[in-house]
Structure 1
């Protein structure tokens, strides 16, 4: 479900904000009245209870399901997690569609409207700009082409069966019979859910790929930085990957000069040349900044607008485990959603045969057949984002007649789109496309009125003084990733696993592997472009110059992989896949910097070197590791600072003896993260261009005075104004860890210097800046947590709220209380293994999380464990709405049954679906 999608306030004229706000208030007032009834508040409680129960799924007894070839059993455990048993693939996926619709159809319906650019049909005019951008990208059209022209016939049959199951659930139901949100929505427009189609499922992969698209925002930011910084300063802010400190995933091997394929035993050769176009973006900062603003408004399904997207996965071979068999762990880091993005499920053929090929369980997506992460009877697999650079922004020279390429003007490919708006007038847009992709800058609101001098046949105006921005992206070409899902579910060994991975084109994911024969492995898949001239894709390129075109894609046989490496384990956590100096293709310049991956590597290696075996409990404990790499680097220096203010000194003493773990009850973790946030602000924030601005809470802490009562300081902090309007703030991710690591030993580096502020003098050195950051953090936390540091704790700052991503995202408190849950005080932090991420530009609140956790006992499947962020149900008042969250927050895992006997023992409800 879209993480940043908010319900429209109803029909309004987007050019008249006053009318829009009035419409929003009226719409929300109606919703509050409905939800008050639904929640049993006040008059009408009896009616509301019956309304709520009408949408709950039937989980016992029997239901006749058209199209089934035989009886299907749906067994649910105490957490509502279903295990489906059938005799044919058709029956299995038909039942999967039916069951997922029972629990999650509202989520599925919103999601398909998002992927097709049709949110306005549900929520009104407030979603028109989002729809316009998504129509410009054309996800739905690409998904339709995949279904029509690329996917295998077997995959199409499975998609059709799934869609038939969803529609069997919908048959004869009104919206209020499906979910309480429809009851609320139905009072403000006449929206009715339509039938599900196979393409609705395929389009979801495009949404995944969008949020995992790589370095698109970095391209924009690097260009914007040229307005204020020189080349060496920009290089300071985008340091190279630290291969000496943080190991890549694949430590050996190369593309063999003999076979032309990647060989884990081959001797590494030289890497690719890397060049960057100079001056291509000069003068286009306004356009790029406007595009950046537009991107920020697009719903982020998997994370907060691309920041922090990551995951952990690792596998340890049986020679190093207490079980004697491989152990595999995975926990993808995504936006906190309610319900969770994941849906736990088992798909079991009673007897494996040509007509029934699946015996698999794990994490699925509501709206898509098959299992995305999990295991079958022979192998287990996990995913993390590879982070390959699969997007490029191209600056285009445009006119009414077309775009310039290779010395001549070429006509745009043009299509018109009509956006239907609930309660309002339709909106028509024109999408223009070049050889490099759609002109995404056409959707920038800031440029909407620029140069409107278009012809009738080319209705989109010539923008930005003859320039536009096109997006080239691998996901805008039809691919076979949906085939990969089913192939993974059927894979039996490393050979068939790699064959499945070859189809996994978009989004590019690190795939880890283990099997019942004792083998472990890794494969880097994906459709990854090869750029001409060795262009490195780090900044927008001139689209009119063919020297910067994409020439090919990295052949699958040349992508890195590992199989039973000598060290006995494999770790993937978004670090570099392989040393770029020894690999002939440039996968990206913008890896995650490896803080999490190296911590996992270190914990495993320490156990093995100590002669200890790794247990399931050890794997689970590692997932909850709260160690802060940046704290280990900076705290020894912070403790040396001579602090004269007794209140700041009191806070500084919290760091004495701290082990750098960010537990929820840790006052030291709270203070250090406050210091880290203020170091970033002082050293970098005021030096970055305003075009990169990330909106956040008040960070401009007033001058820390050496005299005056503490209460006065608290008052000053509470009354601090908005942060500087001409600068941006760093988000504090592990790139910033590396930036500071490379500067920290240089006391007099220019980044540590800053002008005088209020009564405080200029900062002339690192220790000057650290001292001020320590003081500013003391006053900031005093305002947030109180004067008495004995009451401070990281969890009080670092809180998780679970928000229903549509009707719960805005509105009065009553509406939010009905649909939302929380808060939970959490440990962990940015770039910790327990990656409860926060954005230093905007505060300490949790903005991405381990969205699920699993530890798989390979071959002894019933001893595996799993947990979801929320629960199986998307129904706001169901017992299974958030029944896993408390355990998730504590780092607990549930038993994961797989074998028929184990499933039967854990079953509390059985539903029989009959032909």
Structure 2
């Protein structure tokens, strides 16, 4: 057969086939590439939409049930809102709405922390945390504080909660925050609950726990005291060198607000050098306590270029993302007795009002006093009773249910003495202290005489486990117009103990130390005490 015939019959040589095959492979590869790119673009678009769907609306108008009048929310280039309303109900309603717009996942997570309900979100891995927080009872104390609020303050918290719930209404979880979409992959049944005033007040307990002092040191000393001598423990925890760095504090007398004259503005202040920090606190507040101040500065106008006071405040809380602080402004369109707020500064997401900031008349700042407000006690138990002053007394006992995402409910029995809840059985350190208890006085270990027989346990006493008035103090600080009003508000700031600095537009500066401090017997708080 000739070559021509062979070609017509299809018996062509191999070489001419390869270019066609190569083009076909290239076309397939190109098609696959284009398909991948298209899918990637679609996925990116869906991802952007999925993330952006929970972003807050920052322009235009929103119609909301629950407002009695128009409210304006102006945001800076950085997204910082200034809220203006004609009534306090509308003002705090709008603050709750805006906080929820920007940070509701954070708020919801926080209330699960303060309520000891993290396992409802994340499963059994959080049962240990829940058991500890339920035992401390932050939420229970917060509910007691809400029940004791005056009518006006309660209306602020309720309006704020109403605003949060207005944002939550008719929104799916994933519309509220991307985190809920992720959470739904492992905990699909989870549903968001309405916000309540107790959810706000409970966060103040979490902040107080974060700012407590000495509990870790007291625990460490108690563990070390089983192995080392008092002298060796003292070497590990040396006292502050007051001889090298003396404390100078003002003795503040009960005087009326400063008048317009410079002499009157300083008439109530006498500066006194004291030997130690206990004396310093005693000089300031007339009671027993300890603690050293931190980074706050308020400089009189005599030392500034403008001739007016300069206030600088460094709360130096631990870094977090998002920050624990939320910058905002709250303004009544007409400032009056019924709507007294024109204040800017830093709030907590989930809490109405401004924590640190200034209004038209005064500015104030906080730093932690770092005083010791937590004590451990070594209790002696006998069944459902404990020894107290030579007698057996019934333990206070309650049972709570811990709900677990993807698991069975867990029953938790909480026992308390007159000092507070029993925390041994919850952490390894407290268990170790209960197993080999050491008690002390003034930094030295002592052996109790006639110690009763029974099981040893550790209880905890903390100033924040008593109902207080800090939730009210926030609004009184926001509305104060002079030093007298500032001090009256500070008096209600019972937990956590703080350094409060002050400046006003008339040139006055001031300092106040609010906070409840333990009044102890023989002990100084450095070691556990016998129950």
TM range (shorter): 0.7 to 0.9
Inter-partner Cα distance in structure 2 for 1:389 and 1:124: 34
On the 8 A contact 2:249/2:271 being kept in 1, the answer is no
Asked if 1:265 is matched to 2:270, the reply is yes
What is residue 294 of structure 1 aligned with on the other side? Answer: none
On the 8 A contact 1:360/1:375 being kept in 2, the answer is yes
Measure how far apart 1:497 and its partner are.
0.4
Asked if 1:536 is matched to 2:524, the reply is yes
Inter-partner Cα distance in structure 2 for 1:264 and 1:213: 29
Measure how far apart 1:158 and its partner are.
0.1
- What does residue range 287-302 of structure 1 map to in structure 2 within 5 Å? none
Q: Secondary structure at the match of 2:313?
A: strand
What is residue 436 of structure 1 aligned with on the other side? Answer: 419
Inter-partner Cα distance in structure 2 for 1:248 and 1:71: 52
CA shift in 2, pair 1:269/1:63, >3 Å: closer
Asked if 1:527 is matched to 2:498, the reply is no
Inter-partner Cα distance in structure 2 for 1:273 and 1:407: 32
Q: Secondary structure at the match of 1:102?
A: helix
Which deviates more from structure 2 when the two are superposed, residues 233-242 or residues 47-56? Answer: 233-242
Measure how far apart 1:266 and its partner are.
8.5
What is residue 158 of structure 1 aligned with on the other side? Answer: 156
What is residue 215 of structure 2 aligned with on the other side? Answer: 216
Asked if 1:186 is matched to 2:169, the reply is no
What is residue 372 of structure 2 aligned with on the other side? Answer: 389
1:453-483 CA-to-partner distances (Å, cap 9, x unmatched) read xxxxxxxxxxx97100000111000000011
Q: Secondary structure at the match of 2:363?
A: strand
Alignment partner for residue 492 of structure 2, among 503, 506, 509?
A: 503
Measure how far apart 1:157 and its partner are.
0.5
Asked if 1:472 is matched to 2:477, the reply is no
Asked if 1:246 is matched to 2:235, the reply is no
- What does residue range 295-444 of structure 1 map to in structure 2 within 5 Å? 312-444=295-427
On the 8 A contact 2:246/2:273 being kept in 1, the answer is no
On the 8 A contact 2:87/2:339 being kept in 1, the answer is yes
What is residue 69 of structure 1 aligned with on the other side? Answer: 68
Unaligned runs of 5+ in 2: 1-38, 255-267, 280-291, 435-452
Q: Secondary structure at the match of 1:483?
A: helix
On the 8 A contact 2:246/2:276 being kept in 1, the answer is no
1:9-50 CA-to-partner distances (Å, cap 9, x unmatched) read xxxxxxxxxxxxxxxxxxxxxxxxxxxxxxx97762222221
Measure how far apart 1:226 and its partner are.
1.9
Inter-partner Cα distance in structure 2 for 1:511 and 1:249: 16
Asked if 1:492 is matched to 2:481, the reply is yes
Inter-partner Cα distance in structure 2 for 1:333 and 1:129: 28
Q: Secondary structure at the match of 1:532?
A: coil
Higher fraction of strand: 2
Measure how far apart 1:237 and its partner are.
2.3
Asked if 1:108 is matched to 2:113, the reply is no
Measure how far apart 1:197 and its partner are.
0.3
Inter-partner Cα distance in structure 1 for 2:294 and 2:512: 16
Inter-partner Cα distance in structure 2 for 1:50 and 1:204: 32
On the 8 A contact 1:76/1:82 being kept in 2, the answer is yes
Inter-partner Cα distance in structure 1 for 2:243 and 2:362: 33
CA shift in 2, pair 1:446/1:238, >3 Å: closer
Unaligned runs of 5+ in 1: 1-39, 256-262, 275-308, 452-463, 544-915
Q: Secondary structure at the match of 1:97?
A: helix
Measure how far apart 1:389 and its partner are.
1.4
On the 8 A contact 1:310/1:332 being kept in 2, the answer is no
Inter-partner Cα distance in structure 2 for 1:514 and 1:493: 9
What is residue 437 of structure 2 aligned with on the other side? Answer: none
On the 8 A contact 1:494/1:521 being kept in 2, the answer is yes
Which deviates more from structure 2 when the two are superposed, residues 330-339 or residues 432-441? Answer: 330-339
CA shift in 2, pair 1:446/1:427, >3 Å: farther
Inter-partner Cα distance in structure 2 for 1:273 and 1:385: 16
1:177-236 CA-to-partner distances (Å, cap 9, x unmatched) read 011101111121121211100000000110011111111111111122223332222222
Measure how far apart 1:252 and its partner are.
5.2
Inter-partner Cα distance in structure 2 for 1:424 and 1:447: 28
Please, what TM-score do these two structures have when normalized by structure 1? 0.47
What is residue 288 of structure 2 aligned with on the other side? Answer: none
Q: Secondary structure at the match of 1:122?
A: helix
On the 8 A contact 1:253/1:268 being kept in 2, the answer is no
CA shift in 2, pair 1:51/1:233, >3 Å: same
On the 8 A contact 1:84/1:96 being kept in 2, the answer is yes
CA shift in 2, pair 1:414/1:42, >3 Å: farther
Q: Secondary structure at the match of 2:62?
A: strand
On the 8 A contact 2:89/2:156 being kept in 1, the answer is yes
Asked if 1:236 is matched to 2:235, the reply is yes
Inter-partner Cα distance in structure 2 for 1:341 and 1:518: 31
CA shift in 2, pair 1:249/1:126, >3 Å: farther
Inter-partner Cα distance in structure 1 for 2:271 and 2:499: 21
Q: Secondary structure at the match of 2:316?
A: strand
CA shift in 2, pair 1:390/1:116, >3 Å: same
Inter-partner Cα distance in structure 1 for 2:278 and 2:514: 22
On the 8 A contact 1:87/1:349 being kept in 2, the answer is yes
What is residue 203 of structure 1 aligned with on the other side? Answer: 202
Asked if 1:171 is matched to 2:141, the reply is no
Please, what TM-score do these two structures have when normalized by structure 2? 0.80
CA shift in 2, pair 1:505/1:273, >3 Å: closer
Inter-partner Cα distance in structure 2 for 1:210 and 1:201: 15
1:576-598 CA-to-partner distances (Å, cap 9, x unmatched) read xxxxxxxxxxxxxxxxxxxxxxx
